[in-house]
């Protein structure tokens, strides 16, 4: 249950949890007797609780070690405040409370009884003016996203009115299937899909659920039908009830577990689930010529928090001072969580897929090179002569190029997923038709499946297309509300006159894109391109399939913004390889909350920056998996006395 101050979130949570009967109420607030106003707020909560409820005051991590028929935690905001207080970390950098947060996520993940959690939603307000305020906002925002990814249902409560933004509380009894009209998300980018749910009570629509279903567990209350290909019709009233930047996860997937259906089993160690290659539709399959809704992406599960904690604990045992390897340690922990094992394995099949496509805007003087270079570079990739080929050979990766929208004929080996020849000039026309953007998204999804089913354990997206930084900048500036002059770079090296033409084209394209900011597929159709849409589908599906990705430069990161909207939570599976010299790239990285691994003034694209960063990830794995522990090496820790030998 998310909501602002005095939104009614706690009252709604209590009413919902109370339908199950007796409730264990975990109160996280630490009452300061000197703060009369806060003490009165706590007293009001106490007066509202039924007499038959049991109350636990303190840390929910310890409380969740003991099961109960129904548990309500109220709330995560006061819990996080207490954790930051305990560590005296209000002036410290972000991440100081990470061990506490990881422990909470691990406790929630492992809890298999009904659980209702209340937390403040801080993403709808202004950015706090103080460091401590921004610290709390950032930490609780990240925590809310991680908890929401685990929950079957997420509600946003505004002015006492709850709106279901994740999950589907419809139908009665068991295995009730929605057939349409269910809004899966009232987020800024609304995604809806047909789902199968298990509910214990009858519910109304997501817009104002009068009797929402109580989920029976955090990790299995809502599963998708394996055969569901058509998306449900969004509930326009529910979508209209929330005009904000909230991005909620979709619980359904056309490849997820379904009752009685064929499924793709997820490996017990949390690694990428696999399906038979014969299940991947060929390029000519009707799914690539959709005339209805955009392809639906499955729900994204965050990297394994239990394994992340194991990796953090192992880092403490390695023969080095704590934290002395800096980001290599946090990267190693993240990669262990992505792989679902500690220590993690070294990458065995790192794959770069370069998405090639031309753009009509290149014909209007925004690039220093002609569009003919795109098809020539495709041939260069195939011959192994491009920069990304050379860098990939050094870093232990292999390269594949796919023609999505090159304005020429290319080798049949790379054109199986071709959507069209060149995307439209976005300052005066749409980049794609609706059918074409859906086909491009589906193509990217299929390419990701193809690579992962072929054994890829790390993916990189690269780009090749003259003029492609123009639509990339449009998408980034539009989504982040950035002025064109602050976002426009030199691309392939245009002169001042070319920069002015490019800025004007971006301004005009942003004006055309403005009505579509809440719809990622429409935004790609109007102001993106087939290559960008395919990259977005590829990045989204990689996260759905639990496969880590190194992001490249401004074009790939623009696609990543849309991918995280198509598959909310996808960014948890990505790391930024580098920071481009294109101004829009840093804007997009900030929006995603990603810090680049290297800054080397690169702006080539192709995946070159990501491949340059790949050895850093390999080093992080090597350090975590191959270093000796203090015990193994017989090395004393700083807290142990050093053994001395006295000469006879």
- Residue in the block written with tokens 């709850």: 162
Q: Which two tokens stand for residue 530?
A: 């087939």
Query: Please, which residues have CB within 8 angstroms of residue 646's CB and are 6 or more apart in sequence?
Result: none
DSSP for residue 97: T
Separation CA 564–CA 383 (nearest Å): 33
Separation CA 311–CA 637 (nearest Å): 18
Separation CA 271–CA 336 (nearest Å): 10
Separation CA 442–CA 551 (nearest Å): 20
DSSP for residue 569: T
Q: Which two tokens stand for residue 435?
A: 């059918």
CB 155 within 8 Å of CB 117: no
Which regions of 4-126 does DSSP assign to beta strands (E)?
A: 24-27, 54-57, 71-74, 115-120
The CA distances from residue 517 to 200, 339, 525, in Å, are 37, 34, 11
SS3 content of the chain, % helix, strand, coil (to 5): 40, 10, 50
CA-angle at 401, arms to 417 and 509, nearest 5°: 70
CB 440 within 8 Å of CB 419: yes
Phi, psi of 462 (to 5 degrees): -120, 165
> In b/e form, how buried is each residue of 513-548, taking b as 16+ CB within 10 angstroms?
beebbbbbbbbbbbbbbbbbbbbbbbbbbbbbbbbb
Q: Which two tokens stand for residue 37?
A: 């106003």
Separation CA 202–CA 371 (nearest Å): 58
Residues with catalytic function: 606
Q: Is the preceding omega at residue 168 within 30 degrees of 0, hence cis?
A: no
Query: Please, which residues have CB within 8 angstroms of residue 183's CB and are 6 or more apart in sequence?
Result: 164, 190, 192, 205, 206, 207, 234, 235, 238, 239
Separation CA 422–CA 455 (nearest Å): 31
Within 10 A of 107 (CB to CB), how many other CB atoms are there? 17
Name all contacts of 615-618 with Cβ < 8 Å and 24+ positions apart: 615/394, 615/395, 616/328, 616/331, 617/331, 617/335, 617/347, 617/458, 617/550, 617/575, 618/346, 618/347, 618/395, 618/396
Separation CA 337–CA 303 (nearest Å): 5
Separation CA 396–CA 67 (nearest Å): 47
């Amino acid at each position: 249950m998310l909501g602002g101050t005095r939104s009614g979130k706690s009252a709604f949570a209590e009413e919902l949890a109370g339908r199950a009967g007796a409730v264990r109420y975990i109160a996280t607030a630490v009452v300061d007797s000197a703060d009369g106003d806060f003490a009165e707020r706590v007293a009001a909560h106490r007066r509202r609780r039924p007499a038959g409820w049991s109350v636990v005051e303190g840390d929910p991590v310890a409380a969740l070690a003991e099961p109960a028929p129904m548990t309500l935690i109220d709330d995560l905001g006061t819990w996080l405040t207490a954790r930051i207080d305990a560590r005296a970390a209000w002036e410290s950098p972000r991440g100081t409370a990470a061990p506490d947060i990881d422990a909470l996520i691990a406790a929630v993940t492992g809890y298999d009884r009904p659980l209702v959690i209340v937390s403040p939603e801080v993403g709808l307000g202004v950015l706090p003016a103080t460091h401590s305020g921004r610290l709390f906002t950032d930490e609780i925002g990240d925590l809310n996203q991680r908890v929401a990814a685990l929950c079957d249902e997420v509600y946003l409560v505004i002015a006492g009115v709850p709106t279901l933004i994740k999950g589907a509380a419809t139908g009665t009894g068991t295995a009730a299937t929605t057939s349409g009209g269910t809004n899966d998300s009232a987020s800024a980018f609304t995604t809806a899909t047909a789902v199968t749910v298990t509910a214990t009570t009858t519910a109304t629509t997501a817009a104002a659920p009068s009797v929402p279903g109580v989920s029976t567990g955090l990790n299995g209350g809502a599963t998708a039908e394996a055969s569901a290909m058509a998306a449900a019709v969004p509930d326009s009233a529910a979508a209209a009830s929330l005009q904000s930047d909230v991005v909620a996860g979709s619980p359904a997937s056309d490849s997820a577990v379904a009752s009685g259906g064929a499924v793709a089993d997820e490996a017990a160690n949390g690694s990428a689930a696999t399906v038979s290659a014969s299940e991947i539709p060929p390029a000519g399959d009707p799914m690539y010529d959709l005339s209805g809704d955009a392809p639906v992406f499955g729900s994204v599960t965050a990297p394994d928090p239990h394994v992340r904690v194991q990796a953090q604990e192992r880092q403490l045992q390695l023969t080095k001072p704590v934290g002395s390897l800096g980001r290599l340690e946090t990267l190693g922990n993240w990669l262990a969580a992505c792989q679902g094992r500690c220590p993690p394995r070294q990458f065995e099949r790192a794959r770069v897929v370069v998405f090639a496509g031309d753009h009509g805007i290149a014909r209007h003087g925004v690039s220093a090179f002609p569009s003919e270079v795109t098809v020539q570079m495709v041939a260069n990739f195939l011959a192994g002569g491009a920069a990304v080929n050379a860098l990939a050979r050094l870093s232990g990766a292999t390269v594949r190029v796919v023609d999505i929208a090159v304005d020429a004929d290319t080798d049949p080996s790379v054109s199986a997923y071709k959507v069209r020849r060149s995307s439209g000039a976005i300052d005066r026309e749409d980049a794609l038709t609706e059918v074409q953007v859906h086909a491009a998204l589906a193509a990217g999804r299929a390419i990701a499946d193809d690579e992962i089913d072929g054994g890829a354990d790390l993916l990189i997206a690269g780009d090749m297309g003259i003029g492609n930084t123009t639509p990339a900048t449009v998408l980034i500036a539009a989504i982040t509300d950035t002025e064109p002059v602050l976002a426009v770079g030199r691309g392939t090296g245009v002169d001042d006159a070319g920069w002015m033409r490019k800025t004007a084209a971006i301004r005009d394209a942003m004006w055309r894109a403005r009505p579509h900011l809440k719809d990622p597929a429409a935004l790609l159709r109007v102001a993106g391109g087939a290559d960008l849409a395919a990259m977005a589908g590829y990045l989204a599906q990689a996260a759905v399939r639990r496969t880590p990705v190194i992001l490249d430069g401004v074009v790939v990161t623009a696609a990543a913004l849309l991918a995280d909207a198509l598959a909310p939570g996808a960014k948890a599976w990505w790391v930024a390889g580098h920071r481009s010299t294109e101004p829009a790239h840093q804007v997009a990285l900030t929006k995603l909350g990603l810090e680049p691994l290297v800054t080397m003034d690169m702006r080539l694209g192709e995946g070159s920056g990501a491949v340059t960063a790949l050895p850093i990830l390999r080093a992080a794995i090597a350090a975590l998996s191959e270093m000796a522990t203090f015990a193994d090496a017989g090395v004393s820790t700083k807290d142990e006395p050093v053994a001395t030998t006295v000469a006879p």
